Amino acid sequence: QQQVKQSPQSLIVQKGGISIINCAYENTAFDYFPWYQQFPGKGPALLIAIRPDVSEKKEGRFTISFNKSAKQFSLHIMDSQPGDSATYFCAAHVANAGGTSYGKLTFGQGTILTVHP
């Protein structure tokens, strides 16, 4: 199956706290896993992405942890700020496979993050 399951649906954290969003996938052919941030009235913006040959990738306050054997990956937002309040989507893609993979990201259902000041 091509599904990507994301949890939680919503998350409330205090300023300075850690936000953690989890995703699980089924298709072992997926080999590119991006996270997107979306503000109201805007399109999704790429935050950070990982390929399965590494277990962790960090960019600033954002870290992806990847567990290939469990088919799970997660986004950690350190020192969460009110400006981080947005909807976050995980996604997965089969890269370099041609055919039915071209242009197709499979998205999780999204997590609405609220960071209280």
Partner 1 sequence: KAGVTQTPRYLIKTRGQQVTLSCSPISGHRSVSWYQQTPGQGLQFLFEYFSETQRNKGNFPGRFSGRQFSNSRSEMNVSTLELGDSALYLCASTRTGDGGYTFGSGTRLTVV
Q: How far apart are CA 68 and CA 89, in angstroms?
A: 19
Q: How far apart are CA 96 and CA 35, in angstroms?
A: 19
Binding test (CB under 8 A) with partner 1, winner from 19, 35, 44, 113 = 44
Q: How far is the CB of 52 from partner 1 (least distance, A)?
A: 13
Instruction: Answer yes or no: are the C-beta atoms of 97 and 29 closer than 8 Å.
Output: yes
Q: Which is nearer to partner 1, 30 or 80 (CB)?
A: 30
The DSSP output letter for 95 is T
Binding test (CB under 8 A) with partner 1, winner from 19, 25, 30, 93 = 93
Residue ranges binding partner 1 (CB under 8 A): 32, 34, 36, 41-46, 49, 89, 93, 95-96, 99-110
